[in-house]
């Protein structure tokens, strides 16, 4: 339990230093895992999580949906579709 509290305090402290939360959480998680299980397993699990997260279907569909909406708006189709509706 004390390890979780220390990790939370580390993330909170890095947030006050204006480090982006994603980076602060990654640093705290990597250091915590490295201190508890060793640095080699920490690097291995971090690379595996990054790889698995990058290939999730949902995470690739959302940016493409935003890109499609942007293209429709720039082409003027959004205005025409609104007028037609």
Write out the chain's pLDDT in tens, 85 residues. 788 899 899 999 999 999 999 899 989 988 988 888 888 988 888 888 878 877 777 777 888 899 998 998 888 888 888 888 8
Copy the structure tokens of residue 78: 């959004």
Query: Could you state, in order of their start, the residue ranges of all structural domains in the chain?
Result: 1-54, 56-85
d(CA 70, CA 40): 43
CA atoms within 13 A on the CB side of 77: 6
Residue 67 has which token pair? 């890109």
- Residue whose tokens read 């390890």: 3
Determine if the pTM surpasses 0.75.
no
């Amino acid at each position: 339990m004390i390890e979780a509290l220390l990790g939370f305090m580390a993330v909170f402290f890095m947030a006050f230093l204006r480090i982006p939360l994603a980076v602060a959480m990654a640093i705290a998680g990597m250091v915590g895992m490295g201190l508890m299980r060793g640095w080699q397993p920490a690097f291995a699990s971090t690379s595996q999580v990054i790889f698995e997260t990058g290939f999730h279907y949902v995470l690739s569909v959302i940016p493409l949906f935003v890109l499609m909406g942007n293209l429709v708006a720039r082409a003027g189709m959004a205005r025409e579709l609104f007028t037609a509706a």
